[in-house]
Amino acid sequence: MENMVETAIHAGSFKTLVTAVQAAGLVETLSGPGPFTVFAPTDAAFAKLPKGTVESLLKDKSKLTGILTYHVVPGKVMAADVVKLHSAKTVQGQNLTVTSNGDVRIDAAKVIKTDILCTNGVIHVIDSVVLPKES
């Protein structure tokens, strides 16, 4: 079993996420002991963002780090537990909204794959990038 970063790299559908994690300097953290729960947007999810968004975020480490850590919840939260939640406090500090009526959503993103186990937590795949509320 691999850690979160290795798992994301080998999955092949998280190239943008991996690039963003590297640009934000979060590789060491997300390769560390954890445990973490990551709601991981696919490359297709990043492609939904307005043109130029990813490129500008890669140049703004602070904002990029805030967005990425908004996708991470401390602890190992399996899908069976996620569906019981109404919100989850993120590493970034704000709460994600969790809804589950038919399909499970994290803020507006739909969970499309669950319970990808890693040595330091679990990954749930989402179809959109979720953004923290502007403070």
- CATH number, domain of 26, equals 2.30.180.10
Summarize pLDDT for 59-89 with one digit per residue, the tens.
999 999 999 999 999 999 999 999 999 999 9
How far are the Cα atoms of 37, 75, 76 from residue 53, in angstroms, in the given order? 25, 30, 30
| Predicted local confidence at residue 135, as pLDDT | 58
| Predicted local confidence at residue 134, as pLDDT | 78
Q: Assess if residue 31 is contained within a domain.
A: yes
Q: Assess if residue 121 is contained within a domain.
A: yes
pTM here is: 0.96
Phi, psi of 39 (to 5 degrees): -95, 100
Q: Assess if residue 67 is contained within a domain.
A: yes
pLDDT band at 1 (very low <50, low <70, confident <90, very high): very high
Q: Assess if residue 131 is contained within a domain.
A: no
Q: Assess if residue 134 is contained within a domain.
A: no
| Predicted local confidence at residue 38, as pLDDT | 98
Q: Assess if residue 52 is contained within a domain.
A: yes
Q: Assess if residue 133 is contained within a domain.
A: no
pLDDT band at 101 (very low <50, low <70, confident <90, very high): confident
Residue 87 belongs to domain spanning? 4-126
* Average model confidence (pLDDT) across the chain: 96
Pairing between strand 95-101 and 36-41? unpaired
Q: Assess if residue 43 is contained within a domain.
A: yes
With both helix axes pointing from N to C terminus, report the angle between 15-24 and 4-11 in degrees, rounded to the nearest 10: 140
Mean pLDDT of the region 30-50: 97
CA 124, CA 113: separation in Å to the nearest integer? 6
Considering its fold, how many domains does the chain have in total? 1
